[in-house]
Structure 1
Amino acid sequence: MNTSSNSLSQLALQRFKKNFWGVFSFWFVLLFFFLALGAYLIAPDDSENANQMHLPIHSKSPGFTVTMLEIPSAVRTNEKSWWSQLFFGKKMVNNEIPINSYAFEKDQLKVTTYHEGAIEGLEKNYNIAETFPEENSTKKIEAKYIQQKTFLLGTDKYGRDLLSRMLVGIRISLSIGFVAVFISLVIGMSLGAIAGYFGGKTDAAIMWLINITWSIPTLLLVIAITLALGKGFWQVFIAVGLTMWVEVARVVRGQVMGVKKMQYVTAARALGFGHTRIIIKHIIPNVLAPLIVISAANFAAAILIESGLSFLGIGAQPPMPSWGSMIKDHYSYIILGKPYLAIIPGVAIMGLVMAFMLIGNALRDALDVKT
Structure 2
Amino acid sequence: MTIRQEHKTPFFYARKRLFSNKPAVFGLIVIVFAHLIAGGGYLLMPDKTPYANDGAVQIQKQSPGFQVKILKIRKNMDVPKVGFFSWLLNGEDSKYTIVPVKGTPRIVDDSVEFQPFGRERAELKHMLLNCVKPLFVGPSDKLEKDAKQNFKVEGNLITFLDSDEHIQTITKEELKKEFFDDNVETRTYYLGTDKSGRDMLSRLIYGTRISLSIGFISVLISLIVGVSLGALAGFFGGKIDTIVLWFMSVIWSVPSIMLVIAVTLALQQRGIWVAFVAVGLTTWVEIARVVRGQIMSIKQKVYVEAARALGYSNKRIIFHHILPNIIGALVVISTSNFASAIVIEAGLSFLGLGVQPPMPSWGMMINEGFAAIGTSNSWHLIFLPSFCICVTVLAFNLLGNGLRDALDPKAVRG
The TM-score range, normalised by the shorter chain, is over 0.9
Q: What amino acid maps onto 1:13 in structure 2?
A: R
Task: Please state how far the C-alpha of 1:300 moved relative to its aligned partner.
Answer: 0.3
Q: TM-score, normalised by structure 2?
A: 0.85
Q: Return 5+ residue gaps in structure 2 as ranges.
A: 1-6, 134-169
1:46-65 to structure 2, matched below 5 A, reads 46-65=48-67
Q: 2:111 aligns with which of 94, 108, 115?
A: 108
Aligned to 1:352: 392
Q: Which residue of 2 aligns with 1:361?
A: 401
The residue that corresponds to 2:4 in the other structure is none
Tell me whether 1:258 sits opposite 2:283 in the alignment: no
1:182-231 deviation digits (Å, cap 9, x = unpaired):
00111100110111111111111111111111111111110000111111
Q: Summarize deviations over 1:107-146 as a string: whole Å, max 9, x none.
A: 2221221125xx3365123233x43247824233212210
Total equivalences in the alignment? 365
Which region of structure 1 is more displaced relative to structure 2, 84-93 or 40-49?
A: 84-93
How far apart, in 2, do the equivalents of 1:173 and 1:319 lie? 15
C-alpha distance in structure 1 between counterparts of 2:375 and 2:99, whole Å: 26
Instruction: Please report how far the alpha carbon of residue 94 of structure 1 lies from its aligned counterpart in structure 2 after TM superposition.
Output: 1.5
Q: Which amino acid letter does the alignment assign opposite residue 339 of structure 1?
A: W
Runs of at least 4 residues off by over 6 Å: none
Q: 1:74 is matched with which residue: 68, 73, 76? A: 76
Map 1:278-357; keep pairs closer than 5 Å. Answer: 278-337=317-376, 338-357=378-397
**Residue pair 1:114, 1:121 contacting (<8 A) in 2 also:** no
Code of the aligned partner of 2:107: F
SS of 2:9's partner is helix
C-alpha distance 85-282 of structure 1, shift in aligned 2 (>3 A): same
**The structure with more radius of gyration:** 2
Residue deviations 1:214-264 (CA, integer Å, cap 9, x gap):
111111110000111111110011001001111100010000001111111
CA contact (8 A) 2:234 2:291 kept: yes
- Find the partner of 1:148 among 174, 182, 186: 186
Contact kept, 8 Å, 1:331 with 1:339, in 2: the verdict is: no
Show the counterpart of 1:94: 96
Determine the structure 2 residue equivalent to 1:33.
35
| Deviation larger for 172-181 or 93-102 | 93-102
1:173-184 equivalent positions in 2, closer than 5 A: 173-184=211-222
Specify the SS of the correspondent of 1:109: strand
Q: 1:68 to 1:25 in 2, by over 3 A?
A: same
Q: 1:194 to 1:343 in 2, by over 3 A?
A: same
Distance in 1 separating the partners of 2:131 and 2:99: 14
1:203 aligns with 2:241: yes
Return the alpha-carbon distance in structure 1 between the equivalents of residues 8 and 339 of structure 2.
29
**Aligned-partner Cα distance in 2 for 1:147–1:207:** 63
1:272 aligns with 2:311: yes
CA distance in 1, matches of 2:329, 2:308: 25
For 1:164 and 1:182, the matched residues in 2 are separated by 27
* TM-superposed deviation, 1:318: 0.3
Question: SS of the counterpart of 1:38?
Answer: helix
Q: Which runs of 5+ in 1 are unaligned?
A: none
SS of structure 1 residue aligned to 2:68: strand
Q: Which has the higher helix share?
A: 1
Name the CA shift for 1:19/1:339 in 2 (closer, same or farther; >3 Å). Answer: same
8 Å contact from structure 2 (residues 113, 123) kept in 1: no
Task: Give the match for residue 167 of structure 1.
Answer: 205
Check conservation: 2:131, 2:179, Cα contact below 8 A: no
Q: Deviations over 1:28-67 (max 9, x none)?
A: 1111101011111111101000001201111000000000
Which residue in 2 is equivalent to 1:84?
86
Q: How far apart in 2 are the matches of 1:50 and 1:296?
A: 29
What percentage of residue pairs aligned between the two structures are identical?
A: 43
